Chains A and B, each alone.
Chain A
Amino acid sequence: MTDKNEANKALIDKINEVEKENNKTFSNTQKILLTTDGSITAILDVLYGKITLTTIDQHFENADEAHAKLVNVPIGEQINFREVIMHKDDKPLIYAISHIPLSRCNDDICSDLIRADIPIGRILKTHDIESRREIRNIYIEEPDDKLKELFGTDEEMLARDYVIINCDEILMWIKEVFPISHFTEI
């Protein structure tokens, strides 16, 4: 018999920790959505049927200290900020924010980002961008006013953040958030 496979050990431990610390039990679908290094959009689409992406905001701004740290660029460097919500019909499913340093995008990618209606996974696919994802944090957080309004609830939120790495540099930092009652029955 072979040695133990510890391929995803850190993520399992992380999920177990968050469950234990908060005295919660996550559903299988929640666990998958929090730990997968694949496309969440594709999973939601397969589970729910056609889902829709709504861009809440998309703009460029100069990175402050916190944002610069997230994507490992100097303070003041221009980043693309995107805020989207994926939903099925009128039901919001997942809220996502992304920060993308402009210096790491070629013109074609920038053009797609500005169009604001293309999911990031699809942008990567369209432009044949080879990458890897590193999940940084998985946690429970209290919703701010914006999340309360978007989801129509003040319950706790499940969240994760991760980076997409291309050419050994962070191409994108992404945070995904959904209410803790979502994806418990599917």
Chain B
Amino acid sequence: MSAKCTAIKNELREMIARLEQEHNIKLSTTQKILLSINGPVTPILDVLYGEVRLFMLDQHFENADKDIADLLGIDEGEEILYRNSIVFKHSKPLIYVLSYIPKSRCSDRVINKLLEGKTTTGRIMNESGHETIRIINDISLMKATPILTELFKTTDDMLTREYSMIHKGEIVILTKDIYPLSYFKE
């Protein structure tokens, strides 16, 4: 039996350690998993808390400004679907989810499914059989905005994770998850 041993390099561990150090915080196991999972968090929340639900706050098409266009790798002014939702359980908001979806990179079927506003982007991609690469772009701690304060009824700092789903070499969905630092401590 031949055995070869290799330490696995993981940039995420370093990102999380840096976040803890910079803000003098200690993240829980669940928070670390939610920050480091390279995909949608809804399936994880389903497993941890029982079936969670999605509430669509806002969903509309808009023309990408320069910042969003640069993030998505599209031309400024190109049409994107802006999706703004809350994942909740028993009326308690768990995670605020913001997604940017370039319209030109999705089939009509996917766009129509998204517009129904009933299903998470991750599930839609999964059901449509899309093969993707999922990359975590950033994890950070941010100050609560007035909207977040109203939604979560707290002025706590917010943990955020931004990740991209790439299909045919292009970003098809850019998602940002946001929740209070005091959440998922158990």
A residues in contact with B129, CB < 8 Å: 132, 168
B residues in contact with A4, CB < 8 Å: 51, 53
A116 within 8 A of B: yes
A residues in contact with B4, CB < 8 Å: 54-55, 116-117
B residues in contact with A7, CB < 8 Å: 40, 42-43, 46, 119-120, 122-123, 126
Given A7-B122, A9-B46: A46 touches B51 (CB 8 Å cut-off):
no
Fill in one digit per residue for B12-27: 1 if any A CB lies within 8 Å of its CB, else 0. 1100100000000000
B80 within 8 A of A: no
Report the stretch among B63-71, B98-106, B131-139, B148-156 that lies at the interface. Answer: B131-139
Q: Say whether B51 contacts A6, CB under 8 Å.
A: yes
Cα A124 to Cα B135 in complex, Å, equals: 12
Most chain A beta carbons < 10 A, residue from B10, B37, B130, B168 = B10
Known: A8-B47, A43-B37, A119-B8. 4 other contacts (CB 8 A): A11-B46, A46-B36, A50-B10, A53-B5
A-side interface residues, number (CB < 8 Å): 55
Looking at chain B's contact residues, the main secondary structure is: mixed
A residues in contact with B112, CB < 8 Å: none
B residues in contact with A130, CB < 8 Å: 131-133, 166-168
A residues in contact with B50, CB < 8 Å: 12
7 contacts between A and B (CB under 8 A): A7-B46, A35-B47, A45-B10, A54-B6, A118-B6, A130-B168, A132-B132
**Which of B30, B51, B132 lies in contact with A28, CB distance below 8 A?**
B30
B144 within 8 A of A: no
A-B complex: 8 closest residue pairs judged by Cβ atoms: A8-B43, A7-B123, A45-B10, A117-B6, A130-B131, A8-B46, A46-B36, A55-B4
A144 within 8 A of B: no
Quick one: which of A1-38 are within 8 Å of B by CB?
1-9, 11-12, 15, 28-29, 31-32, 35-38
Cα A35 to Cα B53 in complex, Å, equals: 18
B118 within 8 A of A: yes
A residues in contact with B38, CB < 8 Å: 38-39, 42
A51 within 8 A of B: yes
A186 to chain B, nearest CB (A): 5
B residues in contact with A46, CB < 8 Å: 10, 12-13, 16, 32-33, 35-36
B29 within 8 A of A: yes
CB-CB nearest in chain B for A15: B47
A residues in contact with B87, CB < 8 Å: 5
Fill in one digit per residue for B114-128: 1 if any A CB lies within 8 Å of its CB, else 0. 000111101100100
